[in-house]
Amino acid sequence: MRYQTDYHPTQLNNSHETLMIGPWRLHYLAYSTYSDDPRHPVLLIGGAFQGFRSFSHEVGELLVDHPVILLDLPSQGGNLQPAGELNLEDLADLIARFIGELNLPAVMPIGLSYGSALAALFACRHPTKCYRLLLSGIAAFGRPGARLLLEESLHALEQGNIGYFAQGVISGLINPLRTQQTGISPTFQKAMLRQLQRLSSSEMQRYQQNSQRLLDFKGFDSHPQCPTLILAGEYDHFTQPWEHAHFAAACADAEFAIIHKADHLAQIERRPSCSQLYIPFLRSMPLPTHCAGVMRVESHALLQLERRQEARKAPAHPQARLQNIDGSTCHAEIIELGFFGGTLYTENIQSLPVRGWQLSIQELEPLDVLFFHQSAESSAFIFTHGDAPASQALANYLQRAHAHQNRRALTYGHERLAPSLVQSVLAIPSL
């Protein structure tokens, strides 16, 4: 392997190297401080639409200690070659063949979002070729709500409802309730939305193929054996922190940390917090005990993380109405409600179709919902959030409701406290 030694961020916009493996084109760029470098290289594998230039900061930072290779597999990143017949395991095997063709030593993959599934599978299937592994945004896509939302995005594309599709994807990748904490600006969100609304036919095909691969994936039958670092955004509701933690618990040698004030795009939103962990990890050094903006989770607590990210409460006015696309309607009683979903009761609950429903709550416009778990007592649903104004109205409604409930709770508490203690309670800033 001969590395380029003149790295500059602008080069990530330039032409790439191409390696043909059978009929498949693999795009890559390889840099180091010297051309013939025997050290273990870092292998950057981004999300489905994450191009090389999005790694400009990381490449410059990592080159101080390691060779760095950026890789785009077919239908991933900037590689436009369709590959609908390849599953996730096939793509993971292509990474191994890439390493063999270029005669590389064992690599240190950094897999983000969609790329995390590829990197993790590569580590499982080819352990001798993987030296260390870093993952963010990892999940086996076994969570029913996540699978339903992914299926709904494919359905919207098939129906040609591009606006609904784009807004739903944005609401999945960026936690709409936490943008003030994560610092995701409206400008950034609008730019992502425009990008999704303007996907070409080939890009739509790639999205469909990549999403279908995730849906077809049956889960990990083994887990990485090499030293592994897993990072999760505190507010990531697409690949949730507890899912990361469960994956870490199944690895032979994993460290897990939650990045504060970040969601699914943790490596973009909180680069300094992430780098203070992955730089020593890739150097094979112990991780720092205390890091600003980071919470490390010890191995004994990995399976104890709270699964629910948002408060769901019984609304003051639980009566609602369900309407199906076929025109049928039924009354419903909401048991608990949150921004991302809730549970309700209605007659004939066990015969409800999954898709095609709108839920009308009090003064709100109807909201699209998907049902994913039904029993004789209740039915769990999620909001698709494909309609931005309706989603914002729901967020405002819940904020008002929670504020009202909190005021009632505080007032009730004051009535039960002695007057002198009420003064003390109100003086505590955290209350």
User: 66 with 15, same domain?
Assistant: yes
State yes or no: pLDDT of 16 exceeds 60.
yes
Name the residue with tokens 């003149």. 6
- The DSSP H or E segment spanning 250 is helix 241-250
* Residue 420, pLDDT above cutoff 50: no
Residue pointed to by tokens 């429903």: 357
The total of structural domains in the chain comes to 3
Is the pTM for the entire model greater than 0.85?
yes
**What is the domain range of residue 390?**
319-408
342 and 402, same domain (yes or no): yes
Q: Which of 269, 304, 339 is the last residue of a domain?
A: 304
The radius of gyration of the chain's CA atoms, rounded to the nearest angstrom, is 24
What local confidence, expressed as pLDDT, does residue 431 receive? 23
In the numeric block, which tokens belong to residue 149? 């939302």
Cα dihedral sign, 91-19-72-211: negative
Residues 252 and 280: their CA atoms lie apart, in Å, by: 19
The confidence score (pLDDT) of residue 136 equals 95
**pLDDT for position 414:** 43
Give pLDDT, residue 71. 97
In a domain, 87, yes or no: yes
- Do the domain assignments include residue 187? yes
Mean per-residue pLDDT, 68-94: 95
Same domain, 149 and 97: no
Q: Which of 108, 113, 139, 144 is nearest to 220 (CA)?
A: 139
Percent of the chain whose predicted confidence (pLDDT) is above 70 = 91
Q: Does residue 414 lie in a domain region?
A: no
E strand or H helix that includes residue 71? strand 68-72
List Cα–Cα distances, 285 to 121, 248, 281, 282, in angstroms: 25, 19, 6, 7
Check residues 380 and 351 and name the one with the higher pLDDT. Answer: 380
d(CA 230, CA 116): 10
Interval 421-429 mean pLDDT:
26
Structure confidence by residue, pLDDT tens digits, 270-321: 999 999 999 999 999 999 988 999 999 999 999 999 988 888 889 888 999 9
pLDDT, tens digit (0-9, with 9 covering 90-100), for 49-71: 888 999 999 999 999 999 999 99
- Tell me what pLDDT residue 15 has: 80
39 close to 12: Cβ distance less than 8 angstroms: no
What one-character DSSP code corresponds to residue 107? B
Worst-scoring range by mean pLDDT, 99-103, 353-357, 421-425? 421-425
Both 120 and 194 in one domain: the answer is: no
